Amino acid sequence: MPNEPSIQAKNLTKKFADFTAVDNISFSVNRGQTFAFLGPNGAGKTTTIKMLTTLLRPTSGEMLVNGYSPVTNQDDVRRSFGIVFQDPSLDDELTAYENMQFHGVLYKVTNLEKRIEDLLKFVELHDRKNDFVKHFSGGMKRRLEIARGLLHTPKVLFLDEPTLGLDPQTRNHIWSYLKQLNKTEGITVFFTTHYIEEADRVADYVAIIDNGKIVAQGTPKELKKQTKTASLEDAFLSLTGRKIREETAGAAEQMRMRHRLWRR
Ligand SMILES: Nc1ncnc2c1ncn2[C@@H]1O[C@H](COP(=O)(O)OP(=O)(O)OP(=O)(O)O)[C@@H](O)[C@H]1O
Ligand SMILES: [Mg+2]
């Protein structure tokens, strides 16, 4: 089914007790598309990714990932996607190679050694493969997480804030890998970011979520046209409310970064 969308959500809702984190959202991501899911802190992005990737059960609504239901067909769905989580998920006490190996064994990857070697070369970490992850910089860890997410040759890659806290050069680097994958292997890329200018540059299609609801979706060009703005960042701010959010988002992001620092 080549024309079937990679990811579909229809009237998807997630409630935590009586709080609605994701409120009746619908969207569709075509095969090979780079899809940006944007929204302020707490909008419902991670919750949506968790539902699509089988980690949370929706309260109501329907989803399909690579044609499989994340609710009733978890194994097939899991085999078909790779994921880079919002929070770091590498084992610091293992080497880069061992982190890859552990994941590869879990996923029963065939020809594992060659696959690990190739992917470590792809993210330019091959010469550091035997170093402990605890000695890696933030950018190196993120690149390793991307390589690990690709190990079982997924058709869809979910990335929840893959470039958070990285310097502009490393962020560019990461996007160039992802665009390359998207181009050469036709991988569908579903990502979130608070760096709206990144989405403006790399996304084919964008959905903006605010307070659990999708407030707009379209190509970056369409969203700019709709809001009569010159950049996706301005379109985003006009759709989500400029004043209040700017400060709270900044503060929340800072808190999170601090939390991460202390956890190390
Ligand atoms: N397990 C949970 N129990 C209760 N509330 C939750 C739970 N997980 C998420 N929430 C709430 O749901 C809302 C959406 O959270 P979510 O993590 O999806 O936001 P987000 O868009 O990913 O934000 P950020 O940009 O900060 O990562 C928030 O208000 C959050 O507090
Ligand atoms: Mg999140």
Encode pLDDT of 157-214 as tens digits: 999 999 998 899 999 989 998 999 999 999 999 999 999 999 999 999 999 999 999 9
Q: Which two tokens stand for residue 155?
A: 């058709």
Q: How many A from CA of 81 to the centre of ligand 2?
A: 18
Question: Does ligand 1 have an atom closer than 6 angstroms to the CB of 212?
Answer: no
pLDDT value of residue 88: 87
Atom index in ligand 1 nearest the CA of residue 43 equals: 21
Residue 241: helix, strand or coil by DSSP? coil
| DSSP string of 135-153, one letter each residue | GS-HHHHHHHHHHHHTTT-
Question: Does ligand 1 have an atom closer than 6 angstroms to the CB of 47?
Answer: yes
Q: Which two tokens stand for residue 23?
A: 């409120």
Question: Does ligand 1 have an atom closer than 6 angstroms to the CB of 211?
Answer: no
- 7-88+156-263: CATH number: 3.40.50.300
Residue 70 to residue 60: CA distance in whole angstroms:
13
All residue ranges of the chain with pLDDT < 70 are: 1-3, 242-264
Helices 96-106 and 138-149 pack at an angle, to 10 degrees, of 20
**pLDDT tens per residue, range 102-114:** 999 999 999 999 9
Residue having the nearest C-alpha atom to atom 12 of ligand 1: 21
